[in-house]
Amino acid sequence: MKIALDSKAQRITLSYLSSKETFLIEHGRIIMKTLLIALLSFILSATAMADGKNINYTVNGKSYQGYYVSPSAGAPLVLLIHDWDGLTDYEIKRANMLADMGYSVFAADLFGAGVRPTQIEDKRQHTGELYKDRGKMRNLLTGALDTAKAQGAKTSNAVVMGYCFGGAAVLEMARSGINMKGFVTFHGGLATPEGQNYSKAKGKFLIMHGSADTAIPLTQFASLATELEASGVQHEMITYSGAPHAFTVFDQESYRQDADKKSWQRFTEFLSDVTQ
């Protein structure tokens, strides 16, 4: 009698252990599957980020080097114009951020291949040359857009955006009458050259500026608002209190995280709206 009970107990114990082992095996399979999916997603994400490449191109016989990144064929294009430092890691980082959101980006080069000034005098020289020759600036901008097209970028719903000097270039492009869905500036130059206006401008404008910007004062901001309104241009203009010039540039004394995050969020909303 005792032996039978022990035998039954043994069978019950073995049965219980078998069920527990089965559960652990199945649970382990689920965990492994989840980890594999996560790993695959990481690899695909890393691959998408690695798609960016330097693009050598020429405009009027001079060599330039831009940066192109695209997550997929047919993604809306953002043409990105650099500040007076030239095309640097900052613009490339912003380009990759936009690519991660589903946009193709061509970061243009307006100074020339290998020209990345580090001294104030050199920066003033290179920007000054283009401020004095607006025709050349426009040619460089359309040349950059043509280069993006050659890379397979979809330009029918493209947006152009720029920082500081790049913002001034964006507005120059807008005044030329080029057909773009949007024109966006971050702490950009806002003054209109003598003899120019926005009568030919198309697309919507988004202007984001720091209230504490002493390089490009709010008088220019107000004048631009008056001009755009008089020309019937759809525009949205935002100021950020306490934000100085170049408030979006990471790791700089001028960087203001709150203004950077708010302006970037508004920019992404704007992109979603105008590129639909």
Q: Which residue has the higher pLDDT, 135 or 24?
A: 135
Tens digits of residue pLDDT in 19-76: 545 544 565 565 555 444 444 444 444 444 538 999 999 999 999 999 999 999 899 9
Q: Where are the domains of the chain?
A: 1-50, 52-274
pLDDT tens digits along 143-189: 999 999 999 999 999 999 999 999 999 999 999 999 999 999 999 99
88: its two tokens:
């640097």
How does pLDDT run across 176-192, given as a tens digit for each residue? Answer: 999 999 999 999 999 99
Q: Are residues 238 and 266 in contact, defined by beta-carbon separation less than 8 angstroms?
A: yes
Task: Tell which residue, 91, 230, 81, 77, has the closest CA to residue 155.
Answer: 77
pTM of the complete model: 0.82
* Distance between CA atoms of residues 276 and 273, nearest Å: 6
How far is Cα 260 from Cα 186, in angstroms, rounded to an integer? 9
Phi/psi at 248 (5° precision): -95, -5
Indicate left, alpha or beta for 104 from its phi (over 0: left) and psi (-120 to 50: alpha).
beta
**3-state SS, residue 35:** helix
Q: Which CATH class is domain 52-274?
A: alpha beta
Q: Which residues, at least 6 apart from 78, have a Cβ–Cβ distance to it below 8 Å?
A: 95, 98, 103, 104, 105, 106, 158, 159, 160, 161, 271
Q: Which two tokens stand for residue 156?
A: 């029918």
Our measurement of the distance from residue 115's CA atom to the centroid of its chain's CA atoms, rounded to an integer in Å, reads 22
> 170: buried, middle or exposed (CB in 10 Å: 19+, 13-18, 0-12)?
buried
Q: What is the largest CA-CA distance in the chain?
A: 112
